[in-house]
Structure 1
Amino acid sequence: MGKLRGAPEGLPSVEEVKTMLAADPNLKCVVCYARISFDGRAKDAHGVEDQHREMANNARKFGWLIVYRYTDNDKSASKEEVIRDDFEQLVRDLAEGHTLEGYPIHGVMAVNDDRLYRRPGDWERYLRAFTTREGRVYHDSNGLQDLYAEGFEIKGLVGVAMSLAETRKKQRRSRNSHRNRAIRGKSVSAWRPFGWEDDKITLRPAEAMALKKAIRDVIAGASIGEITRQWNEAGFITSRGNAFQHQTVKQILLNPRSCGYREIKGELVRDGDDQPVVGEWEAIVTPKEWFAVVAAMRDRSPSSGIPKGKLVHKYLLTGILRCGNTLEDGTICNNKMIGVRSNSWQKYDHGYACKKTASSGCWGTFKRGDKTDAHIEALVIAKLEAQAASRAASVPEWGQEEALTRAAQSRKELERRWHEGEIDDETFFRNLPPIENRIKQLRDEQAKYLAKKAASEAADTDIVKSFKTRTLTQKREIIKSVLHTVVARSGGKGRKPFDPDLLTPVWRTDE
């Protein structure tokens, strides 16, 4: 891209160009502007490169000297939110009369006027800047254009309006085609979705397995950061060949494609009976699991992907252990203990200490990390097994399926009567909001029910295996679900063998 922006290679200096102009008053110093809305998947700038090549050939025919190249690659000219940096620089340079290096500007070249502008405001700014100097030339696919001619401003605005109308027509056709294909269950992904082969229908086994595990892990409490790290460590890359980032993983997990559904602008695509359309591609998880992962992620911070107000800890029992050391005044320290890295000569990599600060802590209790973790894990697993044996997890049926079906049918019937002229606009729009609110309420309730159901069905009967395969964040959440804390009493000064009796778990009651 560097050679397509700025002064061309081999261009004489500003002083040399001024000398050339003095010797040949007919010489024109022109600038070229190239733009393309979409650079394709290769992102090799071949579109703007072709435009600059064509303009260079035309400049040679006229004997013009190209002194600067402006290039806005992969940028739309019809969208207000898109800022075209080089177009803005072109407008400023035209108004100043010269490029940043000082070369005079006697004209502008573009392969077509719609490369320069597609909105009335851009056309007006460009024309005003262009005409700040007399005698400038402009060349595009229509040949030499006299931008100073009477009525040319109106002619340009008409051209802009026609171009804008054509752009909107294409966008509308594209949206309709996109939605119609989605309703037919066709895959409409521009890039190969993670989990599927290039045909976007057949599963790619390793990726599909990783996505299924990630969805189930997030339902069980894993953070998006942990999933991102796991995928990158496993060597997975995005369809564009990049390492996974937090936001990319989040979008993949929230995409209903994984359960066979399709979404447009945040809404599931539904058929005439108000049921989600099932796509032609192979699903990776069940709809209940997808609803569950969406519900789990909605309860988390939008930026971090972890439960709000919580930190990701390096050690299993940081903040769960509390110091049970008796202080000089006879009170119990009760400070939360933190995980600390061990010295290199020790046989274990971390421990837990009661750190003394200005307001709390005593440095009176230290526990070896690996054996403390193993002991508490064993206690928690035994507790979970006892709970599983005493009561089977059950989720009461939702029981509102018929109500949702009736509400959807009511809306459909109301729309039919309106379309057929049986009711007027006022009646239709007065009765529509309550029905839509009812449908939304029932769908929200259904999503919560499906989330609970999926979480219940995902529970592994082999609790030991299930716990051992969890991420650190998931293990901490499981431990905190059955334990309030673990009180760690000091074993006295000096090195002592690990004594599990000095660890007292405080269990949560069923209530």
Structure 2
Amino acid sequence: MTTAALYLRISRDLTGEQLGVDRQREAAEDYARSNGYTVAEVFTDNDISAAGGKKRPGFEALLAAVTAGRIAVVIAWNWDRLTRNRPDTVRLIETGQQAKAKVALVRGSDLDMSTPSGRMTAGILAEVAQNEIETKGERQTLAQRQRAMMGRAPKGVRPLGYTVGGEVIDHEAEAVRKLYESFNAGASLRSLAMALSGADRDDLPDVPRLQKHIRTLAIERNAKRVDEGYAERPVPDDGPWAPSTVLGILRNPRYAGYSTYTPKEIQKDGNRRRTWRAQIIRDDDGAPVAGQWERLVPPDVWENVQDRLDDPARVTNKKGTDRKHLGSGLYLCGQCETRVRGHSSRYRCAGHVMRSREQVDGFVIEVIRRRLARPDLHDLLPGQDEPRIKEIKEEIGVHRARIARAERDYDSDNDDERISSRMLNKITTDRETKIAALESERLSLSSASVLNSVLSAEKPRDAFDEADLALRRSVIDVLCKVKLFPHPRGHKAFDPSTVTIDWR
């Protein structure tokens, strides 16, 4: 008798009980008996789609068995169960051709891969399946964009702080707000991740501990499965949060109340780090579409966080942005104005300065505290150019509206209004260049915003005393420049004249 293998696959198994593949197996075994095939092996890919590029262990093992000559016939429910993408189709056809194997379909005809007609039929079936996938994808894309234009919450996995329907989850929302506040004040992604994970360190930002979001989601899904009468699935162990996860939270425009839509195509510059603003869907005038959910952070705070994330000095930092000492990378050498580094218990600029970290920090902190305690503090602070920042936002809106009009003209059915793709690209490139320049200017004007959490306190000096290391560094950086000069030889006592503070 001819040796056969069964291949069983279902894209989504919501219950986890493999009922779908079991039904396929019964039908395939009946087919094998009625056609005189001996089933030697069974390969299964449960809850795995064949449409994308995801690796399917069962399919890979099937190809290996055919290549090894152990299998003469592959039996599947229909062609869609075997493959739904061109690369896997080519591999299956080539493997079958070399091994002179057949494909037998329970709901279809036998395909002899050793013959031209068999391979041609397999190719036609594959193209039909590919067309169904692409048509379905286009339909889903249009529906997702329409949903976003209406400001409705996206379907799918819920983000931290919201339910799937967009309702606020209070304790998670508080953590999200703290993440934005702390990062805006100068905290690093790594320190925020450590704080979320519950690390016990005094210099970490004030962020509440949360179990990992992926674990929370798994527990919620299991609760739903139990209510529906299904068995629970394994729940991943809790563990430390990753800085990349924190980055995703800080980049998400939904927290600022913006409706989002992520196009499938790759952005022109190929740099995902810079494309988060592009996810915000806009109306015909280029204005952001507001979501039908409560925002967790003000739009200006979200924009300030994006500016800091986009800062070239930060993006190109290959060693991380964490600082363990108040003045490391912040204080300047008084002789060459290079930023000093922490070196054991001292601050150091090679060949120029070697100063006691404890003495310098104590002096700087006390000077800053006295400044913050002054009744005329607000008159002494460097101010943001609010009118210009407002102008910049308006100018950016004008440029985005022009891009939106050009896109409408390109798609217009009116020959008199339609523009060429070359003109569309020219307008888009020109306007995006201007937007990038305006965003850069806004970044330079918004640096003082890190002071808000200190200045909004009833007693700014007390707020500074209670602040974490990152916020203290940011306050100092916005208020002044600290320069260190060599300490006189032979003098043990600290000399305040060797540390100058230039107020901005």
Q: What TM-score do you get using the length of structure 1 for normalisation?
A: 0.71
Partner of 1:238: 213
**Structure 2 residue 279 is the aligned partner of structure 1 residue 270:** no
Count of aligned residue pairs for this structure pair: 441
Q: What is the CA deviation profile of residues 177-199 of structure 1, one whole-angstrom value per residue up to 9, with x for unaligned ones?
A: 11100100111141121011x34
Alignment correspondent of 1:91:
63
The match for 1:33 is 7
Question: Could you list the per-position Cα deviations for residues 3-31 of structure 1 after superposition, in whole angstroms to 9, with x for gaps in the alignment?
Answer: xxxxxxxxxxxxxxxxxxxxxxx2x5433
Whether the 8 Å contact between 2:328 and 2:347 is mirrored in structure 1 is no
1:299 positional shift = 1.4
Which residue is 2:25 aligned to? 55
8 Å contact 1:32–1:66 — kept in the other structure?
A: yes
For the Cα contact (< 8 Å) 1:322–1:487, is it kept in 2?
Answer: no
Does residue 397 of structure 1 match 2:387?
A: yes
Alignment match, 2:300: 288
Contact kept? 1:118, 1:160, Cα under 8 Å: yes
Aligned counterpart for 1:220 among listed residues 159, 172, 185:
185
- Aligned residue identity for 2:197: N
Alpha-carbon contact 2:10-2:21 (below 8 Å) kept: no
In 2, Cα distance between the equivalents of 1:173 and 1:273?
25
Tell me how far 1:295 sits from its aligned partner: 1.1
Which blocks of at least 5 consecutive residues in structure 1 are unaligned? Answer: 1-25, 98-103, 325-330, 341-351
2:112 pairs with one of 147, 154, 159: 147
- Between the aligned residues of both structures, percent identity stands at 20
| Distance in 2 (alpha carbons) for counterparts of 1:435 and 1:58 | 55
Which of 59, 84, 90 matches 1:118?
Answer: 84
8 Å CA contact 2:410–2:419 kept in 1: the answer is no
CA distance in 2, matches of 1:378, 1:275: 46
1:272–1:390 CA distance, 2 compared to 1 (3 A): same
Alpha-carbon RMSD? 4.3
Q: Distance in 1 between matches of 2:368 and 2:117?
A: 83
Q: Give a deviation string over 1:349-371, Cα, whole Å, max 9, x none.
A: xxx14799xx8699x9766x4x7
Preserved CA contact (<8 Å) 2:6 2:28: no
Relative to 1, partners in 2 of residues 1:391 and 1:404: Cα closer, same or farther, differing over 3 Å? closer
Contact 1:316 1:373 (8 Å CA) reproduced: yes
Tell me, what secondary structure is at the counterpart of 1:187? coil
Superposition pairs for residues 333-412 of structure 1, below 5 Å? 338=342, 340=344, 352-353=345-346, 369=358, 373-383=361-371, 388-391=378-381, 393-398=383-388, 399=391
Which has more radius of gyration? 1
Residue 458, structure 1, aligned to residue 452, structure 2: yes
SS at match of 1:269: coil
CA drift at 1:301: 7.4
| Amino acid aligned to 1:187 | A
Q: Deviations over 1:426-478 (max 9, x none)?
A: 66853773376336624762685389459538353243244334432343344
The question of 1:182 aligning with 2:143 is answered no
Q: CA, structure 1 residues 55+492, in 2 after alignment: closer, same or farther (shift >3 Å)?
A: farther
> 1 CA distance for matches of 2:331 and 2:65?
66
Q: CA deviation at 1:378?
A: 2.0
Question: Which of the residues 502, 506, 509 maps onto 2:500?
Answer: 506
CA distance in 2 between counterparts of 1:186 and 1:335 reads 48
> Cα distance 1:454–1:263, how it changes in 2: closer, same or farther (>3 A)?
farther
CA shift for structure 1 position 91: 2.5
Deviations 1:206-261 (A, max 9, x none): 22122112112222221111111111211342155365322121111101000110
Structure 1 distance, partners of 2:99, 2:317, is: 61
1:261 corresponds in structure 2 to 258
Segments of 5+ residues of structure 2 without an aligned counterpart are 199-208, 217-237, 263-274
Structure 2 CA distance, aligned partners of 1:127 and 1:413? 48
Q: Which moved more, 1:433-442 or 1:201-210?
A: 433-442
Superposition pairs of residues 422-461 of structure 1, within 5 angstroms: 423=416, 425=418, 429-430=422-423, 433-434=426-427, 437-438=430-431, 441-442=434-435, 445=438, 449=442, 452=445, 456=449, 458=452, 460-461=454-455
Tell me which moved more, 383-392 or 230-239: 383-392
Structure-2 change in CA distance of 1:291 and 1:354 (3 Å): closer
The 3 A distance-change label for structure 1 pair 207 and 301 is farther
User: Which residue is equivalent to 1:314?
Assistant: 324
Please tell me whether the aligned partners of residues 157 and 164 of structure 2 are also in contact (alpha carbons under 8 angstroms): no
Structure 1 residues 120 and 222: alpha-carbon distance in aligned structure 2, compared to 1, 3 A threshold? closer
Residue pairs, 1:487-502, within 5 angstroms? 489=487, 501=495
Higher helix share: 2
Determine helix, strand or coil for the equivalent of 1:458.
helix
Separation in 1, partners of 2:79, 2:420: 49
In structure 2, C-alpha distance between the alignment counterparts of 1:449 and 1:269, rounded to whole Å = 21
Alpha-carbon distance, 1:300 to partner: 5.7
1:77 maps onto 2:75 in alignment: no
| The one of 107, 125, 131 aligned to 2:73 | 107
Kept in 1: contact 2:331–2:483 (CA 8 A)? yes
